Amino acid sequence: MIIPIILCGGSGTRLWPLSRKLHPKQFISLVNKNTLFQDTVLRLPKDVANPIIVCNEEHRFLAAEQLRQIESKSNGIILEPIGKNTAPAIALAAMQVIKDFKDALILVLPADHLINNLQKFHEAIKVAKNLAKNNKLVTFGIPPTTAETGFGYIKAEITEKSEYYKIKSFTEKPNQKDADKYLDSGDFLWNSGMFMLKPSIYLEELNKFQPEIVDICKKSFQTSKDEDFIRINKEIFLKCPDKSIDFAVMEHTQKAVVVPYDGHWSDVGSWTSLMNSKNKDKDGNVCEGDVILDGVKNTFAYSSSRLVSATGVSDLIIIDTQDALLVTDAKNASNTKNIINKLKSSNRTEAEFHRKVYRPWGHYDLIDSGIGFQAKRILVNPGAKLSLQKHNHRAEHWVIVRGVATITCGKKTFELNMNQSTFIPLGEIHRLENNQETILEIIEIQTGDYLGEDDIIRLDDDYKRV
């Protein structure tokens, strides 16, 4: 039996402003109607078990909802209280597999990759399966087609064409000069970050080279489930070393081998790599949304809502979302982390939030804001409800746009229909519910001296949020 382990960590900052901390690239539809995470689940071979998901605690409802949308189930969603890289994440998943499935093989897949040749992908998995059964720790390497500086590399003992090779070393993302050397040598493969292994062998090897990781993961691993979620002890896990599986285990063990996957692959790690995965027009442009170009070449122009136009330019990345616009030379498209750092230092929310923010009960769209007020459009899913809560700094006025709202305000509970409204005084305990079978839509006007999302005191919550 093979248990897929899908790693959903990472914030995808190089794809800002579309990818943000609380809604990163793996949960966005970048290439087709599905998200990258959904495509990772859907491309699994049919003979494998339901996957185990490892994700940040903040993304748990995104992962669960996106599984539901594609009618897929999991064997549990492990919640990392903080990202500590792949070695601890895989260790936690390995412990869960041993608990539930003894020593079934695990297939570790990042949630944000683009793979188009399923036949070759599944063939590579079959090769890896036979090797992992014989206690090999298998990674997958991609034969390089260009001197790419955005990927890590694996140096392998490549003497003649084979189904797999021994590994000499791992290399982080190189500079252009080294990347050219790697391509010319023929000894290097792109590091895909995918693995096939026995959980017991992985933990055994990890314990040889990084015993502290194994010890902390064992202590922080708890088998108590919160619905579909497997929670990790935060206080203990915070002490775990931050190590990738490559440098914690694969670079040191004698059991490591690499299986080449000679098909289309991309980690969609930058705007240029995403652009290269899409069809271009005769001028080399990619246009998505309401875009008009004139005399433009080799440019990626994206609009989420309004018209975006450009004339007489070339080699640009133009990404327009509802609350942020990025314009960059394609050569510098990977440097968005500098923008993220400036946003954070200025306490700007655009580094983490979109204007539209998803919650387990639905989502809200921040329509407008100013000194002492902000307006939201709130959509509540059928049968869902917000937490029972109160605010210390703001009052709220609700207007029902669509559906029927069940409202708790103080000691009263009542229903409101379309075009009706109510006022929630500052400090009053309240709750919004949708007990109908259709979407509930309201407009919320907040007024007060502080309107941050952290001014929520939850007294009762179906989703066990703090």
Q: What is the pLDDT along the chain (466 residues), one digit of tens a residue?
A: 999 999 998 778 889 999 998 889 999 999 889 999 999 999 999 999 999 999 998 888 889 889 999 999 999 999 998 889 999 999 999 999 999 998 899 999 999 999 989 999 999 999 999 999 999 999 999 998 888 888 889 998 887 788 999 998 888 888 888 889 888 888 899 999 999 999 999 999 999 999 999 999 999 987 555 556 898 999 999 999 999 999 999 999 999 999 999 888 988 888 998 998 899 999 999 999 999 999 999 999 999 989 999 999 999 999 999 999 999 999 888 788 889 999 999 988 888 888 888 888 999 999 998 999 999 999 999 999 999 999 999 999 999 999 999 999 999 999 999 999 999 999 999 999 999 999 999 999 999 999 988 899 999 988 877 6
Query: Rounded distance, CA 287 to CA 291, Å?
Result: 6
* Residues across the chain: 466
The conformation of residue 174, written as its DSSP 8-state character, comes to: P
Domain that holds residue 408: 356-460
Of 235, 266, 297, the residue at which a domain comes to its end is 266
Confidence at residue 285, expressed as pLDDT on a 0 to 100 scale? 97
Q: Are residues 279 and 262 in the same domain?
A: no
Q: Are residues 279 and 382 in the same domain?
A: no
Q: Is residue 345 part of a domain?
A: no
Sign of the C-alpha dihedral, residues 63, 38, 273, 295? negative
Query: Rounded distance, CA 40 to CA 51, Å?
Result: 10
Q: Are residues 193 and 232 in the same domain?
A: yes
Nearest alpha-carbon partner for 55 in 29, 27, 97, 31: 27
Q: Is residue 380 part of a domain?
A: yes
Confidence at residue 320, expressed as pLDDT on a 0 to 100 scale? 96
Confidence at residue 49, expressed as pLDDT on a 0 to 100 scale? 95
Confidence at residue 237, expressed as pLDDT on a 0 to 100 scale? 94
- The whole model's pTM is what? 0.87
Q: Are residues 361 and 310 in the same domain?
A: no
Q: Is residue 440 part of a domain?
A: yes
For the chain, state the CA radius of gyration.
Answer: 24
Q: Is residue 466 part of a domain?
A: no
Q: Is residue 50 part of a domain?
A: yes
Confidence at residue 362, expressed as pLDDT on a 0 to 100 scale? 92
Q: Are residues 259 and 284 in the same domain?
A: no
Q: Are residues 98 and 238 in the same domain?
A: yes
Confidence at residue 190, expressed as pLDDT on a 0 to 100 scale? 92
Count CB-CB contacts under 10 A for residue 289.
Answer: 14
Q: Are residues 249 and 132 in the same domain?
A: yes
* CATH code at position 231: 3.90.550.10
Q: Are residues 406 and 298 in the same domain?
A: no
Count CB-CB contacts under 10 A for residue 307.
Answer: 10
Q: Are residues 136 and 57 in the same domain?
A: yes
Q: Are residues 254 and 286 in the same domain?
A: no
Q: Is residue 349 part of a domain?
A: no
121 CB contacts (<8 Å, ≥6 apart)? 43, 115, 261, 263
Of 248, 266, 284, the residue at which a domain comes to its end is 266
Q: Are residues 232 and 196 in the same domain?
A: yes
Q: Are residues 331 and 204 in the same domain?
A: no
Q: What is the count of structural domains for the chain? A: 3
Q: Is residue 314 part of a domain?
A: yes
Q: Is residue 378 part of a domain?
A: yes
Count CB-CB contacts under 10 A for residue 251.
Answer: 16
Of 249, 266, 283, the residue at which a domain comes to its end is 266
Query: Rounded distance, CA 248 to CA 191, Å?
Result: 15
